[in-house]
Amino acid sequence: MSLQLISAGQLGLCGAVLIGALLNFFYFLSTAARLEAAAKSSAPQAKKIMLIGLLMRLVMVFAILAVAVHISTPLFLASAVSFGVFYLTTLFVLARSEVRKKF
């Protein structure tokens, strides 16, 4: 994605792509931490941990994208698309790794 932006002369949007990728990275790190904490807790406590974690991650995503949309529309689109692409890629890789573990 960044190479396409560089070749199109949009160097400013490469940072937005990086922001989207980093946002996805921290999103999944916080998800993994919450899953680990929930796995070590009782069922009611685990439910509370997961709900609070979901709200915190959604607030984080919306806050960063809200800042990007106030700066410029192309910056918002680049960071949102980057986050979406990396999010879907990460989910696909996780799903494939779980399928391979069963066999």
Kindly report, residue by residue over 39-59, the tens digit of the pLDDT: 888 888 888 888 888 888 788
- Residue 47 belongs to a domain: yes
- Residue 25 belongs to a domain: yes
- Residue 9 belongs to a domain: no
- Residue 38 belongs to a domain: yes
Residue ranges making up the domain that contains 56: 14-102
Distance (Å, whole) CA 42 – CA 61 = 28
- Residue 4 belongs to a domain: no
Share of the chain above pLDDT 70, in %: 87
How many domains in the chain? Answer: 1
- Residue 21 belongs to a domain: yes
pLDDT band for 7, please (50, 70, 90 cuts).
Answer: low
- Residue 43 belongs to a domain: yes
Q: Is the dihedral of CA 45, 51, 54, 59 positive or negative?
A: negative
- Residue 70 belongs to a domain: yes
Cβ atoms of residues 90 and 30 within 8 Å:
no
